[in-house]
Amino acid sequence: MKRLLVKRALDERLLIAYLITVTVGLAIIYSASSIMAESRFGSHTYFIRQQFLWALFSMAAIWIICKFDLERLAVYSVPALMASLILLAVVFVMPARNDAHRWIFLGPFTLQPSELFKFFMIVYLAFSLSNPKRDLKKIGQLIIPYVPLLGAGLALIVLEPDLGVGIVISVTALAIFFLAGTPMKFLLATSAPLVAAAAVMVFVIGYKKARVIDYMASIADPLNGSYQVKQAALTLGSGGLIGTGFGDGRQKLFFLPYPHTDFIFASAGEEIGLLGLAGVLFLLFYILWRGLKIAAAQPDRFGYLLASGMVVTLFCSMAINIGVVTAMLPVTGLPLPFISYGGSSLVISSAAIGVLLNLSRKAPKA
């Protein structure tokens, strides 16, 4: 029987889970950053005020995304991706922060172009690979135009340096190609040079070599790792089952580096304990599960690839951040989506939710 497409209400459960998660994130950010904000800026609400504004902007972005036909807008993904490439080059003329050129400074706000590149890359790949004229069994149609375009973006991101986002983009792109039906031999042929280049950069050129060495040392015992890994292990361990109490953590008193950004999962674990972190993980994975349900229900190839790409990129960011905090992965400097402080991360992660909510309104009817 031919299936008819009908419009339905957006996925309310996904929206509610998102709103709860962002609210929880705001509370955790305030607890983790208030003392640092008072010390640096003379106001204990400095970071939370900034994040609250970004949260409002993120919700506005979701509302706007839900109003448009994404497949019609996707035709503009190529110029959007090219614009993000230009912004990736602009960061190198901006002042460095923590020895990295990752941000464009716009007055009191900052923009991280790598996050924009990641988002537009997913839209571009979903739109391009859903074209019925695209023959994925021909290696020539995979090399051009994907390798030059994505390779340029990855190269600029690695040079910033931003290894975490580079890994997320690489895994997300490979996942989309796989789901689109690209033969495994082509994916392996593409992955091998990436792995070889990474090995040369780390062990020959010395890119992030110290972090890799620290990671190897921390495998047997986290307390043998870098200062960040040691403090993260101590912070998580001190939380126990129920935590020290919300707002009563001690490691945020300038012991744990970046307690409101990269290591917010550890900072939260000290105060709300294992049970509290289990609740946070439940919210995050519930969002991913709803995203997978939406992807599986898509009636067309474009929607399926687009929804899947958004879920994969969110999962990768979550897994890498938590893996770093628990000493399972080398330190990468990647925030935890919806929880960590940071405008670019929150807006782009929220835009991914907006895409999923938009796609959730399309459903097949038997």
Give pLDDT tens digits for 143-192: 778 888 888 998 899 888 888 898 899 999 999 999 998 888 888 877 77
Out of 76-80, 118-122, 176-180, 225-229, pick the least confident.
225-229
**172 belongs to a structural domain:** yes
97 domain-assigned: no
pLDDT band, very low/low/confident/very high, at 64 (cuts 50, 70, 90): very high
pLDDT at 206 (0 to 100) = 55
For the chain, the average pLDDT equals 87
Angle of the 227-239 helix axis to the 301-325 helix axis, nearest 10:
90
Q: Give the pLDDT of residue 140.
A: 76
Answer yes or no: is 100 within a domain: no
Q: Does the predicted model carry a pTM greater than 0.85?
A: yes
- What CA–CA distances, in Å, run from 163 to 102, 132, 167, 177, 203? 11, 34, 6, 21, 15
Assigned domain for 119 exists: no
At residue 3 the predicted structure's pLDDT band, cuts being 50, 70 and 90, is: very low
Residue 130 pLDDT exceeds 80: yes
6: DSSP letter: E
10 occurs within a structural domain: yes
Overall domain count for the chain? 1
Residues for the chain: how many in total? 366
For 52, the domain range is 4-76+129-365
Provide the terminal-to-terminal Cα distance of the chain, rounded to the nearest Å.
7
How open is the CA angle 26-27-30, to the nearest 5 degrees?
A: 85
For residue 89, tell me if it sits in a domain.
no
